[in-house]
Amino acid sequence: MNTILKISNLSKKYQSGFEALKSINLEINKGEIFALLGQNGAGKTTLISIICGIVNPTDGKVWVDGKDILENYRDARALIGLVPQEISTDSFETVWNTVTFSRGLYGKAPNPSFIEKILKDLSLWDKRNNKIMMLSGGMKRRLMIAKALSHEPKLLFLDEPTAGVDVSLRKDMWSLVKELKDAGTTIILTTHYIEEAEEMADRIGIITKGELILVEEKTSLMKKLGTKELTLQLLHPLDEIPSDLGIPGLKLSADKFELSYTFDSKSEQIGIADLLQKLSQHHINYKDLYTSQSSLEDIFVNLVNSGAKSNDA
């Protein structure tokens, strides 16, 4: 079986009556990195919390490696590691004891050499005898990852793993996540940083207002939804776009020196050839032209905005 996580018609209505998740369906394959992108309050933490048994679903089912998270909670939970969004701090316990204790909680036999390996991998080995309260924020976050890995989970959830982490540590975290994937762990992470999803994920899910509005391979998502913009720097300013030019979507900049044209990258040749030919017929000359590809960020903002509009309608 290639599926490690299956979510079927999962819904959550909090006691306040707020519907945080609306009939989520999702399957995660073994060994992939899945990034869940969504704005504040979209439902990311709620979804993870249900899978990890912290929040009860209102409706629907979840299986981890074929084990129902409600009917077979202990077995399902043993397969999961969770690095929560909120990190607990101010502990008098040492790094070593915390991670060792965490492994014991899952009924795993002690394995000091494994704990040593994760602390070294996470650059926490030097701090093993320090109390948690003596660690920096970034170290505490890495400690949370060490704890989550202590019982050798197959499925690791990272809820905003790099929130508040500096740029260099963020890059370290990315390479660590890739190493975990290479070692066979399946990873689901949530993030606000589109760059992070773009950098790491095999697949991306976009969640907005409790609905999973899109799940797609990262590369095909960027190809399929990506539009390009062609910009022409004109030799002479243009008063206005000639009305008989017949190219919809063409825009003139405020300084009248740039024409820009947004087009679907799939039909690029036809559009551009046509445009350039018509410009030349109208004696509109340009000194330079360049294209730019829309980023995942543009795609995300467009999708979330159009989703929001259709929800309001």
Site for ligand ATP in 19-78 (CB under 6 A): 20, 38, 40-46
Q: CB-wise, 159 or 198, nearer to ligand ATP?
A: 159
| CA separation for the pair 69, 308 (Å, rounded) | 31
Q: CB-wise, 82 or 122, nearer to ligand ATP?
A: 82
Q: In what order do the strands lie in the sheet with 227-234?
A: 250-252, 258-264, 227-234, 286-293
Torsions phi, psi of 92, nearest 5? -90, -5
Could you tell which of ligand ATP, Mg ion, none binds residue 14, using a CB distance below 5 to 8 A set by kind?
Answer: ligand ATP
Using CB under 5 A, pick the residue from 45, 98, 162, 208 that binds Mg ion.
45
Minimum separation from the CB atom of position 297 to ligand ATP (A) = 16
Residues whose CB falls within 8 Å of the CB of residue 41, separated by 6 or more in sequence, listed in order: none
Minimum separation from the CB atom of position 159 to ligand ATP (A) = 7
| CA separation for the pair 107, 80 (Å, rounded) | 13
Six-digit token pair at 65? Answer: 């490696």
Could you tell which of Mg ion, ligand ATP, none binds residue 41, using a CB distance below 5 to 8 A set by kind?
Answer: ligand ATP
Residue 234, judged by CB atoms within 10 A of its CB (0-12, 13-18, 19+), counts as buried
Contact 87, 133 (CB under 8 A): no
Indicate whether 271 belongs to the interface with ligand ATP (CB under 6 A): no
Could you tell which of Mg ion, ligand ATP, none binds residue 46, using a CB distance below 5 to 8 A set by kind?
Answer: ligand ATP
- Which residue of the chain is nearest Mg ion when measured via CB? 45
Minimum separation from the CB atom of position 47 to ligand ATP (A) = 7
Which residues form the interface with ligand ATP (CB under 6 A)? 14, 16, 18, 20, 38, 40-46, 85
